[in-house]
Structure 1
Amino acid sequence: MEQLSSPLHGVLIPCCLLIAGISIVNTAYAPHGLALAVALAAFKFYRGRPKRVLTTSFQEFELLERVDLGSGVLLKFKLDDSSYLGSPIGHAIDMRLGPLSSANDKTLSYVPITTDLDRGYFELVVRPGDPGASLQEHQVGWFRLSPEVPRFSYEPNMGHLALVIAPGQGPQDPHPVCIALQIINLVVRTPDDLTFLSVYCYSNSPYREDVLMSEDLDEVAQKYPRMELHYIGDFLQQGYACSNTLTNAHVDTIAKADKVVYIGNNSSKDLDRLTAVGSVIAITPINQPLS
Structure 2
Amino acid sequence: MSFFGFTEGIPQFIRDHPYPIGVATALGAIFLSAVYTYKRRRSKGCLDPTEFKEFRLIKKTQISPDTARFKFALPTPTSVLGLPVGQHVLCKGKDSDGEDVVRPYALITGDFDLGYFELVVKMYPGGAMSRNFMELREGDYLPVKGPKGTYKYKPGQVRAFGMIAGGSGITPMFQIIRAILKNPKDKTKVHLIYGNRTANDILLKEDLDGFAEQFPNRFTVYYVVSEVSEKIQIASSL
Structures share fold, TM-score greater than 0.5:
yes
The one-letter code of the counterpart of 1:193 is: D
How many pairs does the alignment contain? 202
Counterpart Cα distance in 2 of 1:89 and 1:210: 25
Q: Does 1:229 align with 2:221?
A: yes
Distance (whole Å) between structure 2 residues aligned to residue 133 and residue 103 of structure 1: 16
Does the CA contact (< 8 Å) of 1:54 and 1:145 recur in 2?
yes
**C-alpha separation between the residues in 2 aligned to 1:239 and 1:96?**
39
Aligned to 2:59: 65
Query: What CA distance in whole angstroms lies between the structure 2 residues aligned with 1:156 and 1:133?
Result: 38
Identity across matched positions, percent: 25
Maintained 8 Å contact 1:113/1:182: yes
Task: Report the aligned-residue RMSD.
Answer: 3.4
Displacement of 1:146: 5.9
TM-score (norm 2): 0.71
Residues 93 and 143 in structure 2, CA contact (< 8 A), matched pair in contact too:
yes
How do 1:115-126 and structure 2 match up within 5 A?
A: 115-126=110-121
Q: Which moved more, 1:103-112 or 1:134-143?
A: 103-112
Rate the CA distance shift 1:241–1:73 in 2: closer, same or farther, 3 A: closer
Pair 1:114-2:109 in alignment: yes
Q: What's the offset of the Cα at 1:237? A: 4.5
Cα-to-partner distance string for 1:171-223 (whole Å, 9 max, x where unaligned): xxx2x111111011000001211111111001112xx2431222221121111
| 1:152 Cα deviation from its structure 2 partner | 5.4
**Secondary structure of the corresponding residue to residue 107 of structure 1:** strand
Is this contact kept in 2: 1:157–1:194, CA < 8 A? no
Residues 213-255 of structure 1, C-alpha deviations (whole Å, 9 max, x = no match): 2222112111112111101224324453529xxxxxxxxxxxx
Contact 2:47–2:147 (8 Å) recurs in 1: no
2:83 aligned with 1:87, yes or no? yes
> In structure 2, what residue type is equivalent to 1:142?
P
Letter in structure 1 aligned against 2:122: R
Q: Which secondary structure state, in structure 2, belongs to the residue aligned with residue 106 of structure 1?
A: strand
Distance across 1 between alignment mates of 2:44 and 2:157: 26
Cα distance in 2 for partners of 1:52, 1:46 equals 14
Please give the TM-score of this superposition, normalised by the length of structure 1: 0.59
Once the 2 structures are TM-superposed, how far is the Cα of residue 116 of structure 1 from its aligned partner?
A: 1.9
Residue 52 of structure 1 corresponds to: 45
8 Å CA contact 2:82–2:147 kept in 1: the answer is no
CA shift in 2, pair 1:217/1:237, >3 Å: farther
Match of 2:122?
A: 127
Structure 2 gaps of 5+ residues are 16-29, 125-129
Once residues 207 and 174 of structure 2 are traced to their aligned partners in structure 1, the CA distance between those partners, rounded to angstroms, is 8
